[in-house]
Structure formats: C-alpha cells, structure tokens
Amino acid sequence: MTLADQPLLILAAISVSGLCSLVGLHLILRRQAMYADALSHSVLPGLVVAFMLSESLGPVPLLIGAFVAGLFTSLLTQSLKDRASLREDTSLGIVFSGLFALGVLMLGLFASRVHLDASCVLFGELAFLPLENHVSVLGLELPQPLVLLLGTFAVVATICLVFHRALVASAFHEEMARAMGLPVRFLHHLTLTLAAAAIIACFESVGAILVIGLLVIPPSFGLLMSSSFRGILLWAWALGVVTSVAGVPLAFAWNTPISGMLVAVAFVIFSLTFGVKWVWENRK
C-alpha cells in the first residue's frame, strides 16, 4: 500500500463505520449486540456454498449466499428457542458456532476448489481496496467494494429513515409497540436483516470479527455522550470519523492491518471516555 491511497482508505473507513454505527445503534437498542457476533460467523457457510456454485468471487452470489445464511441464523435460533425451550443466548451460541463449523469444514474438505481463505473472511483487509476492480460511478473511478459499501449504506439508511419511528418504538417498548399495532416480529427480523446486510457489505474490507467492533463500539460511545437518538447517532459518527482519520495513518506507520487498528482505536477511546465519565459521575 502506498501513501497516496490513504485518503481513499480513510474515506472507505468512514463509510464502513457510518453504515455500521447506524445499524449497530438499532441492534444495541434491542440488546442484540451479540447477534452481530453470531451473524458475522454464521455467514461463512453461505459464502462457501455461493462460491462453489458460482465459481467466482463476484459480489452478487456472495451477497446472496451470506444473506441466506444470515436469515438461516435468525430463523434457526428462533425455532431452537421456541421448540427446544433453550434460552436465547444458548440457542444463538449453538446455531452460529454450528454454522461456522460447517463453513470451516467445507473450506477444509473442498480446499482445492475454493480459493477462499477463512482467515481472509475473518480478518479482511481494507488495504487491498485500491487494488480491487474499479468501476465508474457518476464520473468517478471507485473500487468495487467501496461502491458496494456506499450502495448498501444508501439502502440501509433509507429503510432506517422510513421505519424510524416503528423501529425505535418497538426497540424501547415492545409491549407498547405491539399494542399500537406495530408488526413487532417483522421489525425485529428487519433489524437483524439490516445487520446482516451491513456485515456482508463490510466483511471484505474489515473482516467478519472486527466488523462487530464497528457495529457496537461507536453507538455505545454515542450512548455515553447523549440520550436522544439523533445525538447518539451523531456522536457515533463522530467517533467513526476520528477513528478512521487516526487509525488509517497509524496502521500505515506501524504496518498493521487497518481493520484491527480501527477497532483498537475505537476501543481505546471508548474505554477512556467510559472511565473518565464513570469517575466524573461518582466523584464526591
């Protein structure tokens, strides 16, 4: 990677964290943060199957495969919870690790036919972004993953805006939302679907495990700083921008993976803020 790529990479990092903050906030309000963890692992078998069927690394089959796997996760978890009377955390843990195991197994068994590296899926690497195919959008030459990312961002943001009231109402007070006639179950699955979409759009650039950090840490930071939905989101985005602007050059300087650096920077800022705020509120 060269220094000239830095602005592009910072831009990509900002869009990743912008998308993730929005979706992550909805997840956190529903107390489903660990769903991000589960989804980010369970999409693996979907990716492998899609890759084997389509024999290519084109984004569309991979997206479909990951999406189906994500849907599978939430439905399987729900049915295991309802039909086997296991608690939600246990069923989620079983389902996602089972799917992940299946994915790793397939990778191992069909390694010769699948040029998909599990650790590549898990870790991702933003630095490869400038090397990807470029497509021209509105007269600008942009790497394909970045276009995918921005497209997903636009769609997800539109859905979040349209369903804003319903999503927030059902997240804060499920019973009341149900009494108001809102489709609570649909909204729950909609949130998880948006999370799946965000994870899939980002896994190529950030990797599956660290995308959780970008989903959860900025909105949690926002929650420390503000109490209104808009305020939380703006603070989350602010952290995303700061993280990107600081993280990308730091990763260049130390020659580390960008995704790990982004999450580490966000984590450190969150922890410090948390500590300061905790001491401040308990001073006497």
Partner 1 sequence: MDYVLSSILSCALVGLFSGFMGNFLVVRRMSLMGDVLGHAILPGIVVGFIAAGFKQDSWTLFLGALGSGLLAGFSFEAFSGRLKVKADAAMAIVLTGFFGLGTIGLAVLPRLGSGTHAGLDRFLMGEAAAISQDDIALLVGLLSLSIALIVLFYKEIRLTCFDPDFAKVAGLRPGIFSLLLSLLISATVVVSVQATGVVLASALLIVPAATASFLSKSLLGRLGWGALFGALAGALGAGLSSEIDHMPTGPAIILSAIALLVLTLLFAPERGWISRGLRRRQQKLRHENEDFLKAIYMEGERQPEGHLTLAARIREGWVGTKPYETILARALKNGWVLLRADALELSEVGREIALQVVRNHRIWELYLVRKLDFALDHVHEDAEEVEHILTPEIVRIIEASLGSALHDPHGRVIPSLSDLKRFEVPGY
Q: Where does this chain bind partner 1 (CB under 8 A)?
A: 28, 31-34, 36-37, 41, 83-87, 89-90, 92-94, 97-98, 100-102, 104-105, 107-109, 111, 118-119, 122-123, 209-210, 212-213, 215-217, 220, 223-224, 254-257, 259-264, 266-268, 270-271, 274, 277-278, 281
Least distance (Å) between residue 104 CB and partner 1 = 5
- Which of 77, 193 has the CB closer to partner 1? 77
Least distance (Å) between residue 199 CB and partner 1 = 12
Q: Which residue has the tokens 């030459």?
A: 141
Could you tell me the end-to-end alpha-carbon distance of the chain, in angstroms, rounded to an integer?
A: 51
Task: Mark out the alpha helices in 55-143 (DSSP H runs).
Answer: 59-83, 88-109, 118-123
- Which of 129, 251 has the CB closer to partner 1? 251
Least distance (Å) between residue 147 CB and partner 1 = 26
Least distance (Å) between residue 99 CB and partner 1 = 10
Kindly report the CA angle at 82 between 80 and 86, in degrees rounded to 5? 60
Which stretch of DSSP H or E encloses residue 143?
strand 140-143
Contact, 51 vs 188, CB < 8 A?
Answer: no
Least distance (Å) between residue 271 CB and partner 1 = 7
- Which of 9, 28 has the CB closer to partner 1? 28
Least distance (Å) between residue 36 CB and partner 1 = 6
Which stretch of DSSP H or E encloses residue 135?
strand 134-137
- Which of 32, 73 has the CB closer to partner 1? 32
**What are the angstrom distances between the C-alpha of 217 and each of 16, 21, 59, 122, 154?**
13, 8, 27, 18, 22
Least distance (Å) between residue 189 CB and partner 1 = 18
Least distance (Å) between residue 39 CB and partner 1 = 12
For 280, residues 6+ apart whose C-beta sits below 8 A from its C-beta are none
- Which of 36, 167 has the CB closer to partner 1? 36
**What are the angstrom distances between the C-alpha of 271 and each of 4, 14, 201?**
32, 21, 27
If phi > 0 it is left, if psi is from -120 to 50 it is alpha, else beta; for residue 255 that is left
- Which of 80, 146 has the CB closer to partner 1? 80
- Which of 67, 123 has the CB closer to partner 1? 123
- Which of 162, 278 has the CB closer to partner 1? 278
Say how far residue 242 (Cα) sits from the centre of its chain. Answer: 18
User: Within the chain, what is the greatest distance between any pair of CA atoms?
Assistant: 65
